[in-house]
């Protein structure tokens, strides 16, 4: 049975086949070619089968987001499938899952590898989206450090003194800093490499979102997350579908004037912290 006889399809690449990324795909991928990238073959098989049974055209690629060559090969494979019009990066590790060094290498450097690699293959008018985190607003970086990050090649980010001395203290701090760096990585790319290809790139910073991986965090730090949710204006957790609605907008035609920015979707947690109605214990 041939479900779609279209040729020369536009390509969509998703790095990190988790619930938020696949929820975005379901909103934008009809009639397009999907390339799923993940380090887990089992995860790739599960997600790709689910998408195929829903009528999507999917290929998979095992990717180690920690390795530059692996990420570049993923980008090249996406380009071989058709004009790469969308790239979504959700790869990362949470504070209770990994050491500070691993978090920084995956969430910061690995994301940088992906932004760099897809900056070489994106189609004209294409759009990218990095899933960051509300924690990117929880640890303010000095202005001079942000300027240093913006001027440092991806391969050298771990050598920045502030990263070595502060971000390596503990996993929570490493995660906050890595997610702020994601915002800066999108800004830099939007103004340079992605601009040269007439492509856009933005970030989304979700708050407390219920996903399978989030249960690891809830199990380890449930009381802290509950206090954060209770202090927010929404007084609830968010869902992958809510993030996907915003993601589809930022990737779509109605957001063509939006690039290099972050959209905070946290139910009001950061507002509570900024106004002092919730005290963040870090």
Positions marked catalytic: 175, 179
Q: Which residues lie closer than 8 Å to 161 by C-beta, 6 or more apart?
A: none
DSSP string of 5-22, one letter each residue: ---S--EEEEES-SHHHH
Q: What is the b/e burial string over 121-145, where b = at least 16 CB atoms within 10 angstroms of the residue's CB? A: bbbeebbbbbbbbbbbbbbebeeeb
Give the three-class secondary structure for 50: helix
| C-alpha dihedral sign at 168, 65, 205, 84 | positive
Task: Assign 241 to helix, strand or coil.
Answer: helix
Sign of CA dihedral 217, 206, 48, 194: negative
């Amino acid at each position: 049975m041939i479900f779609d006889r279209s040729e020369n399809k536009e390509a969509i690449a998703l790095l990190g086949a988790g619930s938020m990324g696949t929820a975005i795909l379901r909103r934008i991928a009809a009639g397009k070619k999907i390339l799923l990238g993940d380090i887990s073959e089992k995860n790739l098989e599960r997600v790709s089968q689910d998408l195929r049974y829903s009528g999507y055209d999917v290929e998979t690629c095992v990717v180690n987001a920690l390795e530059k060559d692996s990420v570049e090969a993923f980008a090249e494979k996406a380009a071989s499938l058709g004009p790469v019009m969308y790239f979504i990066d959700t790869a990362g590790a949470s504070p209770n899952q990994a050491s500070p060094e691993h978090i920084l290498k995956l969430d910061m450097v690995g994301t940088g590898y992906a932004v760099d690699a897809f900056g070489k293959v994106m189609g004209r008018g294409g759009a990218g989206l990095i899933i960051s985190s509300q924690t990117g607003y929880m640890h303010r970086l000095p202005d001079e450090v942000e300027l240093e990050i913006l001027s440092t090649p991806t391969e050298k980010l771990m050598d920045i003194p502030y990263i070595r001395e502060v971000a390596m203290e503990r996993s929570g701090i490493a995660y906050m800093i890595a997610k702020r760096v994601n915002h800066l990585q999108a800004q830099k790319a939007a103004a340079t490499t992605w601009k040269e290809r007439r492509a856009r790139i933005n970030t989304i910073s979700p708050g407390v979102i219920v996903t399978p991986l989030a249960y690891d965090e809830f199990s380890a730090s449930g009381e802290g997350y509950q206090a954060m949710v209770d202090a927010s204006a929404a007084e609830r957790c968010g869902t992958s579908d809510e993030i996907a609605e915003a993601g589809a907008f930022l990737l779509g035609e109605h957001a063509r004037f939006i690039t290099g920015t972050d959209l905070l979707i946290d139910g009001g947690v950061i507002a509570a912290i900024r106004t002092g109605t919730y005290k963040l214990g870090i």
